[in-house]
Chains A and B, each alone.
Chain A
Amino acid sequence: MRITENLLSERYLYNQNRINEKKLKMQSQITNNTKLEKLTDNVGDSLEAIKLDSTIRKIETFQKNIIYAKDYLSIATDSIENIADETQKIISQIMKADNALNSSNLASVTQSIKLSLRAIVDSLNEKRNDMYLFGGTDFSDTPWSIDSNGRAFRNSTNVTGEIKVQITQNIKDTINITGNKIEETDLINTLNDILDSLEANSVPDGTLKQRLNNAYNSIVNLQSINGEKLIRLDDISALLEKQLLNTQELLSKKQDIDPAKLIVDLQYQDYVLQLSYKLAATILPKSLLDYL
């Protein structure tokens, strides 16, 4: 093969250009700390990265939803606890009324129970982010009220609505205790009946006391159901955290660079480039002309 000067210089420039292209790519990857600067750096890995990123964003949203749900449940649990405390106070008051020494003070017991009932209704009407904790999903009216006789009654026509929150890809969890669940405890009706009895100057009978105890137990039961839900949310949150870490690791493998390897590669390319400069400086201009 005849080797001409043009052939030498073109070949030299072609190789030089290839080395510089590689260097440029590596420099850019090091600067941006990613192998996937654009889609066509690696189409398959880029699409995989998009899917992984989508999964990460979803998990992060589920985590946010769980934080919100836990906050909502905690507040509701606190309210239920208040209701249970007030109910406990009422039970004590009734025990007091049972005592023959206090039979003349039924009016003060009645007043005390009315105050507790008001506190219970206040707790039942509590809000979080403008949403009634126990009012279902219809917020047009305050769920419960106290009438002029000091009796509690349901104000809102519909308190059955559930607030459902997506906490994993396949799980939507109800985070609120609906009003009908409260009604199922029979607490409000029992307290109204107790007040009726007291205002009729009669100490609540055994049946009423039993209803009150049952209502109290049901309220405590609701509290423990909420507590269980909180624990379950903690478990799911831990699971999501693990999923998040795994997915982030997968994404990192797809897109993050290995700086040490890349820097060594870059240095090697630089070395090759310098070598080719020296070679070119030695070989390219030489011809027979130099020796004549």
Chain B
Amino acid sequence: MGIGRLLDISVRSMAAYQRAMDVTSQNISNAGNPEYTRQKTIFATEETQAGIGMGVKIQDVLRIKNNLLDNQIRKYQSSLSDAEKRSELLQQIESVIAEPSDIGISSYMNEFFNSWSQLATNPNSTQLRTQVIQKAQRLSERFAEIFEGFSSVQSVLQKEAVAKTNQLNEYLKEISEMNHRIYESEARGIKASELKDKRDSLIDKVSELANITVNYNEFGAAIINVGGVQGADQNGYTEFEVSFINNKMRITSKNDKNAIALLNSGELFTASDLYSNRIPEYRTNLENLATAFINKVNEFHMQGFTLVQNGSSVTGIPFFGSLDIKGNVINAFVNGQLKINENILNNPKNIAVSSSANNDGNGSIANLISSLSDLKLGELGDQSLLESYTGFLNTFGVDKVVSDNKIESNSLVIQQLKNQKSSYSGVSIDEEMTNVIKFQRSYEAAAKLIKVVNDMMETIIQLV
């Protein structure tokens, strides 16, 4: 064995540890980068063909990644994003509903019915009649504000869905481009760890928008599936857009309208579900309530007689809306507004509270209308108006609470999963600094070996 081989071994060692130091320094410098996946130097013994040790070599630089963990995080992240967005938007509706408070529908509805009870005590009082009109106006305004709140949130959702779909397209485009570069690098045997980190970070962002599945091919390219529709691979990507099919908001492929993403989580799911299902359901519930309220008040009011004017009282006047030529009530509920009869607005004497003609002191109808607050109505499923309204509040409240609870539970799970990921793929400064010492010492030892070999060579030279 020649002394020169010792030099070869030392030089190889120094090169290996220098490369290892490169990897370590890359890890240390990215310790604060949450997207970074730590790399690990795998050393191996260099051998001759005969199996004789020739020092150390770097066999591989591994990217310490756990795909199962990533998939889990994305799944929960998608669900968390849905819950967060849902909670945020439902909170907007909740603040418009303003319950429990003095400015909620329940409060105004109570005031409305109580004003009729008071009117029954003094049916010919202009002041009490005006009070009934004012309470009805307030209630009408509250209904209108809530319906307007629904429309405003739906409008926000529509804009957000378009913006988020554009964002999704951008992400998928970038992922596809990166996939292509990763594919080319890895196919040529070049590690593309940093590119993979960037691409994985984009995949994480896509998972916030929609439910996705991710598969990797043998050259590390990610094949993304968005709600069952191919999203991106190394060859290209699908451009999505917002479509309206049967009044339902859908995310479809731009090139193939039949390719509908079946969403069940993520912000785009929130937008389409709230826009297409939840808000229309809330709206229908409140519309049914308002319609039953209007119809019942009108039914009683039309039986009543107004105050005596020009020698007689009048009957058959609806409190909400007006009568068409056939005698049907029209325009009582327009664009979420309860329209008080113009004749009543202009003249409170037209409020009809007497059960018989020319009886200004009779308040029987006022008492009847007042008792409506407790009356079980068939059209509301044998519930009173307040019960029906609290039923709506309960449905809405449970939706919001479920979202809030989901945020809590998913955040906790994600926190745990991220801890696991950080523990597995994150950089530990202690560990890296230990490696620095280890590699530095190994490098010094290899250098020292060269010095020893040099001394040996010198000894041999002096022998000559």
CA of A51 to CA of B389, assembled, Å:
11
- Interface digits, A41-64 against B, CB 8 Å rule (1 contact, 0 not)? 001001101110110011011101
Among B396, B422, B433: residue with most chain A CB under 10 A? B422
Among candidates A5, A131, A136, residue contacting B124 with C-beta atoms closer than 8 Å:
A131
User: A271 at the A/B interface (Cβ < 8 Å)?
Assistant: no
Q: Is the CB of B426 within 8 A of A50?
A: no
CB distance from B151 to the nearest CB of A (A): 20
Q: Which residue of B lies closest to A9 (CB)?
A: B32
A164 with B120, Cβ < 8 A, contacts A11-B419, A53-B106 known: yes
A257 CB → nearest B CB, Å? 15
Does A292 contact B419, Cβ atoms closer than 8 Å? Answer: no
How would you classify the secondary structure of chain B's contact residues: helix, strand, loop or mixed? helix
Interface residues, chain A, CB within 8 Å of chain B? 1-7, 10-11, 14, 36, 38-40, 43, 46-47, 49-51, 53-54, 57-58, 60-62, 64-65, 68-69, 72, 129-132, 135-140, 158, 161, 163-166, 169, 172, 175-176, 255, 287-289, 292
Tell me the bound Cα distance from A11 to B414 in angstroms.
11
Q: How many residues of B contact A (CB 8 A)?
A: 63
Return the 6 tightest CB-CB contacts between A and B, nearest first. Answer: A137-B361, A4-B426, A43-B397, A7-B422, A61-B114, A137-B362
Contact of B31 among A3, A5, A129 (CB under 8 A): A5
Interface residues of B in 409-464 (CB under 8 A from A): 411, 415, 418-419, 422-424, 426-431, 433-434, 437
Q: Is B100 an interface residue (CB 8 A)?
A: yes
**How long is the Cα–Cα vector from A36 to B122 in the complex, in angstroms?**
37
Candidates B31, B94, B121, B423; contact of A65 at CB < 8 Å: B121
Whether A6 pairs with B124 at a CB distance below 8 angstroms is no
The answer to whether the Cβ of B6 comes within 8 Å of any Cβ in the partner chain is: no
Considering the complex, give the chain B residue whose CB is closest to the CB of A128: B122
A139 touches B360 (CB 8 A): yes
- Choice from B361, B371, B374, B398 contacting A139 with Cβ under 8 Å: B361
Nearest residue (CB) in A for B415 is A14
Q: Is the CB of A140 within 8 A of B308?
A: yes
A136 and B362 CA atoms in complex are apart in Å by 8
Q: List 19 A-B contacts (CB under 8 A).
A: A4-B423, A5-B32, A5-B429, A7-B419, A14-B415, A38-B94, A40-B401, A47-B394, A50-B99, A50-B393, A57-B111, A61-B114, A65-B121, A72-B121, A131-B360, A137-B354, A140-B360, A161-B362, A166-B371
- Do A2 and B428 have beta carbons less than 8 Å apart? yes
A61 to B121, CA, bound (A): 11
A5 engages B361 (CB within 8 Å): no
Q: Which of B205-235 contact A (CB under 8 A)?
A: none
The complex places the Cα of A65 from the Cα of B121 at a distance, in Å, of: 7
Please tell me if the beta carbons of A5 and B428 are within 8 angstroms of each other in the complex. Answer: yes
User: Of B361, B397, B423, which is in contact with the most chain A CB atoms at under 10 Å from its CB?
Assistant: B361
B308: A residues at CB distance < 8 A: 139-140
Find out whether the CB atom of A43 lies under 8 angstroms from the CB atom of B398. yes
Name the one of B32, B117, B363, B397 contacting A46, with C-beta atoms under 8 angstroms. B397
A137 to B365, CA, bound (A): 13
Cβ A288 vs Cβ B430 within 8 A: yes
Contact A163 B422 (CB under 8 A): no
Chain B, Cβ-Cβ closest to A138: B359
Contact flag A163-B361 (CB < 8 Å), given A40-B404, A47-B393, A50-B99: yes
Given contacts A5-B427, A161-B361, contact A50 B100 (CB under 8 A): yes
Residues of chain A within 8 A (CB-CB) of B362 are 137, 161, 163
**Contacting pair A166 B359 (CB below 8 A):** no
Minimum Cβ distance to chain A for residue B138 (Å): 14
Contact B431 A2, beta carbon cutoff 8 Å: yes
Given contacts A46-B100, A137-B360, 13 further A-B contacts (CB under 8 A): A1-B423, A11-B419, A14-B411, A40-B404, A43-B393, A49-B100, A57-B114, A65-B118, A68-B122, A131-B122, A166-B370, A288-B430, A289-B429
Question: Nearest B residue to A135 by beta-carbon distance?
Answer: B361
**Interface bits B81-118 vs A (CB < 8 Å: 1, else 0):** 00000000000001101011000101100110010011
The residues of B that contact A38 with a CB separation of less than 8 Å are: 94-95, 99
Question: Scoring B residues 358 to 399 as 1 if CB is less than 8 Å from chain A, else 0, what string do you get?
Answer: 111111100100110110000000000010001001101110
**A61 engages B427 (CB within 8 Å):** no
Q: What is the bound-complex CA distance between A131 and B121, given in angstroms?
A: 10
Cβ-based interface call for B125 (8 A): yes
What's the Cα separation between A10 and B285 when bound, in Å?
43
B residues less than 8 Å from A64 (CB atoms): 118
Of all chain A residues, the one with the shortest Cβ separation from B362 is A137
Asked if B4 is an interface residue, CB under 8 A from chain A, the answer is: no
Residues of A within 8 A of B356 (CB): 161
Give CA–CA (A5, B31) in the complex, Å: 7
| A130/B106 in contact, CB under 8 A | no
**Smallest CB–CB gap between A174 and chain B, Å?**
11
Q: Which residues of A contact B53 (CB under 8 A)?
A: none
Please judge, given known A-B contacts A40-B401, A49-B100, A163-B361, whether A129 and B122 are in contact too, CB under 8 Å: yes
Interface contact B100-A2, CB-CB below 8 Å: no
Cα distance A181–B177 in the bound complex, in angstroms: 97
**Complex Cα gap A164–B303 (Å):** 18
Query: Which of B100, B114, B418: most chain A Cβ within 10 A?
Result: B100
What residue in chain B is nearest A61 (Cβ atoms)? Answer: B114
- CA–CA, A69 and B31, complex, Å: 81
How does the 8 Å CB contact mask read for B65-80 relative to A, with 1 for contact and 0 for none? 0000000000000000
In whole angstroms, how far apart are the Cα atoms of A140 and B361 in the complex? 10
Q: Inside 8 A of A65's CB, which chain B residues have their CB?
A: 117-118, 120-121
Which residues of B from 1 to 52 have beta carbons under 8 Å from A? 31-32, 34
- B93 nearest CB across to chain A (Å): 10
B311 to chain A, nearest CB (A): 8
Distance from A2 Cβ to chain B, minimum over Cβ atoms (Å): 5
Whether B422 pairs with A129 at a CB distance below 8 angstroms is: no
Q: How far is the CA of A141 from the CA of B431 in the complex (A)?
A: 103
Residues of chain A within 8 A of B393, CB atoms compared: 39, 43, 46-47, 50
> Cβ of A36 and Cβ of B32 under 8 Å apart?
no
